[in-house]
Amino acid sequence: MIQRIQSLWLLLAACCMGLCLMVPVAKYQFDNMPTEGQRVEAQLDLFAPGGADMMLQMDQPVVHYGQRLTGMETWPLVTIVLVCMVIAVVAILLFKRRTLQARLSAFGFILSVVYAFLLFFWGVDHYADLLSAGMGGTQPEVTWHVGAYAPLAAMVFFFLAQRAIKKDEALVKAADRLR
C-alpha cells in the first residue's frame, strides 16, 4: 500500500534532496579584503543565483563574490541530487514490488552517501581553493548551511525506508508460511 511508513520516509528523502537545490551549501568569508574595513563573502549554491556576480552594498562594507567568477561547476552534484529525487519518487510508486523498492532505496542511500562525500570533500574544498586563489591565497572561513545537512537527513530517511520495506517483506513471508 502507498500509505505505508516507507512512503513517508521516501517522500522526506526526496524533499531533503530537493532542498539541496534551493538553499546554499556553504558560506565563505574573508575579513579585511580587498581593502581595509571590507569583508568579502561568497556562498556555494548548486544553482548559482541570478543577478550580478559582484556587488558592493553601500550600507555595509561587504563585497559579495559571485560563484560564476570562480568558474565552479556544480553539475555533477546537481545530477546526483536529481537522480536521488527520481529514485525516491519511483520507489514510492513501486509499493507493490517490495524487493525492487528495497533495492531502489538502498541505491538511493548509497547515492546520497556518494553525494555527501563529493559535497564535503570535493565541492566545498574545491570552491574554497578557487576563492582563495582569487583573493591572494588566504583561506576563507567556511560556515555550513542547510544545503550541507539536508543530504545527511536524506541518508537517514533512505535507511529508515529500507528498514520499513524489509520489515513489511518479512511480515508477508510470515503470513505466507501460515497459509
pLDDT tens, position by position, 114-156: 999 998 888 777 777 777 776 666 777 788 888 889 999 999 9
Q: Given pLDDT bands bounded at 50, 70 and 90, which one contains residue 91?
A: very high
Q: What is the model's pLDDT at position 36?
A: 56
Cell numbers found for residue 80: 546526483
My answer on whether omega of the bond before 34 falls inside 30° of 0, hence cis, is yes
Q: What is the model's pLDDT at position 59?
A: 39
Domains of the chain (ranges plus CATH)? 5-172 (1.20.140)
Mean pLDDT, the chain, whole residue set: 78
Plot region of 136 (φ>0 → left; ψ -120 to 50 → alpha; else → beta): left
Q: What is the model's pLDDT at position 179?
A: 67
Who wins on pLDDT, 170 or 64? 170
pLDDT tens, position by position, 14-71: 999 999 888 888 887 776 555 555 666 777 777 755 433 433 333 334 444 555 555 6
Plot region of 26 (φ>0 → left; ψ -120 to 50 → alpha; else → beta): beta
CA distance 115 to 46: 12
Pick from 1, 77, 65: nearest CA to 39: 65
